[in-house]
């Protein structure tokens, strides 16, 4: 049985990964990392019996030990914080590492897993957004395989099987449009936290759901696609597809378009990444194409959703600019979720921080981390200035 480590086991992707592992029956969970949901984490440890686990801090570890003792479950080795995440990501018996943490916390652990030559099922898009050059160079050196779990990149990966990149005209990433696809600019500006979290198609964590509401999620995916598939931004197009049935497409130089379609369920791309290059029967009902009344596609509106345009700007600027955009956005999204700024301020903060940054080369870990730290500080300052003005 292949060993698997999971970074972010209590999140949406992590929980679905464990369902897929249970369905497949030929993978052994050797290590898991979670944040602060120790009750669910204890349930997972009891069921999958990993050798090693990691959580946020000593307080979480005490809670976890109490939870396990109450269940009569043998305690695995427990590590903490980033060192714990790295230990999980580099567990010697793990052939596959699922990188499913939210935000930049998974950046260094994923890099260490790549350097160790693991097969990476990548759901943490910030890893490639922050340091695509660094990550892909490390993968080329170690022989690690990067397999996307994002439904859009996973779809592109499937469409490109057997195709030559020089015959590809462009990649077409689909976006659901989120909860504000048909809303006016004014309605978006006054949107509440609850409205922004009410995604019409997908059940995701808070941060990625807000990114979907602003289309920043799609912008981050454009940056990620550049590094995953080796194409420039001029060959990556985004279209809004509210039904979320066509997960993405590839247009060939002869005008043919290859599309990947499927049910709206993350277990499909997760399983593809875990079993690649093989395909195995999954636990989902197949897509009933006779029940599809309508498939529509629209141009994204960059006036209402400026975050998508900022992502293209970041790619063109290059170097550390994508890391700066990612960091500023994480801070701004957290501020919105905490009720400190309005939704439209996310794009404004991202733009302001980017305008103050002179990108440097992103070929070293320290350069990326320095840019990330600088951008967070600038974003926090911007949020404070805005709050004072209000």
Percentage of the chain beyond pLDDT 70 is 98
If pLDDT is split at 50, 70 and 90, which confidence band does 387 have? low
Q: What integer pLDDT is reported at residue 106 of this predicted model?
A: 87
DSSP secondary structure, 102-123, as one string: SGGGGHHHHHHHHHTT-EEEE-
Give the list of residues 6+ apart from residue 268 with CB closer than 8 angstroms, or none: 151, 154, 262, 282, 284
Phi, psi of 129, deg, nearest 5:
-65, -45
Q: What integer pLDDT is reported at residue 62 of this predicted model?
A: 96
pLDDT averaged over every residue in the chain: 94
- Per DSSP, the three-state class of 354 is helix
Question: What CATH superfamily is the domain 2-148?
Answer: NAD(P)-binding Rossmann-like Domain (3.40.50.720)
Please say if the pLDDT value at position 222 is more than 70.
yes
Residues 37-84 pLDDT 10s:
999 999 999 999 999 999 999 999 999 999 999 999 999 999 999 999
Residue with tokens 């730290």: 373
Q: Pull the structure tokens for residue 198.
A: 């009410």
Please say if the pLDDT value at position 242 is more than 90.
yes
**Distance set, CA 359 to CA 142, 146, 330 (Å):** 27, 26, 19
If pLDDT is split at 50, 70 and 90, which confidence band does 205 have? confident
The whole-angstrom distance between residue 358's C-alpha and the CA centroid of its chain comes to: 26
Please say if the pLDDT value at position 89 is more than 90.
yes
Map out the domains of the chain as residue ranges. 2-148, 318-385
Q: How far apart are CA 219 and CA 329, in angstroms?
A: 11
Q: What integer pLDDT is reported at residue 199 of this predicted model?
A: 86
Section 168-194 average pLDDT: 95
For 318-385, CATH number out of 3.40.1010.20, 3.60.10.10, 1.10.1740.10, 3.40.50.300 equals 1.10.1740.10
Residues 275-334 pLDDT 10s:
999 999 998 989 999 988 899 999 999 999 999 999 999 999 999 999 999 999 999 999
Q: What integer pLDDT is reported at residue 91 of this predicted model?
A: 98
The verdict on whether omega for the bond into residue 277 sits within 30 degrees of 0, i.e. cis, is yes
**CB–CB of 130/323 below 8 Å?**
yes
Q: What integer pLDDT is reported at residue 105 of this predicted model?
A: 85
Q: What integer pLDDT is reported at residue 120 of this predicted model?
A: 97
Please say if the pLDDT value at position 390 is more than 60.
no
């Amino acid at each position: 049985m292949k060993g698997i480590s999971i970074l972010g086991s209590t999140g949406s992707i992590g929980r679905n990964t464990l369902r897929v592992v249970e369905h497949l029956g030929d993978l052994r969970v050797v290590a898991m990392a979670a944040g602060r949901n120790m009750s669910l984490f204890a349930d997972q440890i009891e069921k999958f019996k990993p050798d090693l686990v990691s959580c946020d801090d000593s307080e979480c570890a005490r809670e976890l030990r109490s939870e396990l003792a109450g269940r009569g479950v043998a305690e695995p080795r427990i590590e903490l914080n980033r060192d714990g995440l790295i230990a999980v990501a580099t567990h010697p018996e793990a052939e596959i590492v699922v990188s499913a943490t939210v935000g930049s916390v998974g950046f260094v652990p994923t890099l260490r897993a790549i350097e160790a030559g693991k097969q990476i099922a990548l759901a943490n898009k910030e890893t490639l957004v922050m340091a695509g050059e660094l990550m892909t160079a490390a993968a080329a050196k170690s022989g690690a395989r990067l397999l996307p779990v994002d439904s859009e990149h996973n779809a592109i990966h499937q469409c490109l099987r057997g195709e030559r990149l020089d015959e590809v005209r462009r990649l077409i990433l689909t976006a659901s449009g989120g909860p504000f696809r048909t809303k006016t600019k004014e309605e978006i500006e006054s949107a509440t936290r609850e409205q922004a979290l009410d995604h019409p198609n997908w059940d995701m964590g808070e941060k990625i759901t807000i990114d979907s509401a602003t289309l920043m999620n799609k912008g981050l995916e454009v940056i990620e696609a550049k590094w995953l598939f080796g194409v420039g931004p001029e060959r990556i197009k985004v279209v809004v597809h509210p039904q979320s049935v066509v997960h993405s497409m590839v247009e060939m130089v002869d005008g043919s378009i290859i599309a990947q379609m499927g049910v709206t369920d993350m277990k499909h791309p997760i399983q593809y990444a875990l079993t690649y290059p093989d395909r195995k029967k999954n636990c989902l009902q197949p897509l009933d194409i006779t029940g599809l009344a309508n498939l529509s596609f629209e141009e994204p509106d960059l006036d209402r959703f400026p975050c998508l345009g900022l992502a293209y700007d970041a790619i063109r600027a290059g170097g550390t600019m994508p890391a700066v955009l990612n960091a500023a956005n994480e801070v701004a999204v957290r501020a919105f979720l905490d009720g400190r700024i309005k939704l439209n301020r996310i794009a404004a903060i991202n733009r302001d921080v980017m305008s103050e940054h002179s990108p440097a080369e992103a070929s070293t870990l320290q350069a990326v981390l320095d840019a990330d730290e600088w951008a967070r500080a600038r974003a926090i300052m911007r949020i404070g200035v805005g709050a004072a003005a209000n």
